[in-house]
Amino acid sequence: MDAVSGVRWFAVQTHSRAEEKAAAHLIRQGFEVYLPRYLRRKRHARRTTVEPAALFPRYLFVAVDMILQRWRVVHSTVGVTRLVCNGDEPALVPDRVIQDLKRRQDDSGYVRLERRPRFAVGDRIHVLEGVFAPSQGLFEGLTDGERVAILLDLLGRKVRVVLDMDCVAAA
């Protein structure tokens, strides 16, 4: 932010699932707001959907010009629980944190998250859905960013099967 004008970033805690409402009211009051979001994979009833979600549930960031704006009004904004403070003073969020988050955004404005396997090579895993459910196998590795290779014991021999990462869990 601009050090000359006194603009600084701070974290705001919101009411449950009220990040967008709080952001709208803060913007209406003249504050710059950053609500980092990502595309969350959600599985329900054997279907996987992708939906936008807050990267930090119940939190967003607000830029306050400490010279021109009264930061205490943030506390009484609709949807806001409190401005995160150290004692009586708002806790500063370093500019580089906001810059790093914004740098990881895609063209649609969503923060890209690296998907890493939740297991190590050789771990026993359980197939949750599909034709191989409820088989157990050994984690072999990643094939691309979204799929895992596992070794299943089928008909007395080890068979390599590639599945979506969301279709398996630790056994």
Tell me, what CATH number does 51's domain have? Answer: 3.30.70.940
Q: Is residue 117 part of a domain?
A: no
- Say whether both 59 and 20 belong to one domain: yes
* pLDDT of 145 higher than 80: no
* pLDDT of 32 higher than 90: yes
- Residues 70-127 pLDDT 10s: 889 999 999 999 999 989 889 999 999 999 999 999 999 999 876 666 778 888 988 8
Residue 156, C-beta contacts closer than 8 angstroms, at least 6 positions apart: none
User: Domain containing 133: what range?
Assistant: 124-170
Would the pTM count as exceeding 0.75? no
- Say whether both 82 and 140 belong to one domain: no
Q: Is residue 143 part of a domain?
A: yes
Q: How far apart are CA 162 and CA 171, in angstroms?
A: 17
pLDDT top residue among 22 and 160: 22
- Residue 52 backbone phi and psi in degrees, to 5: -65, 145
**Tally of domains in the chain:** 2
Residue with tokens 């984690």: 139
> Alpha carbon 38 to chain centroid distance?
5
Q: Is residue 55 part of a domain?
A: yes
- Say whether both 74 and 150 belong to one domain: no
- Say whether both 86 and 143 belong to one domain: no
pLDDT given at position 146: 64
> 153: pLDDT confidence band, cut at 50, 70 and 90?
confident
Q: Is residue 111 part of a domain?
A: no
Q: Is residue 135 part of a domain?
A: yes
- Say whether both 74 and 143 belong to one domain: no
Q: How far apart are CA 44 and CA 166, in angstroms?
A: 11
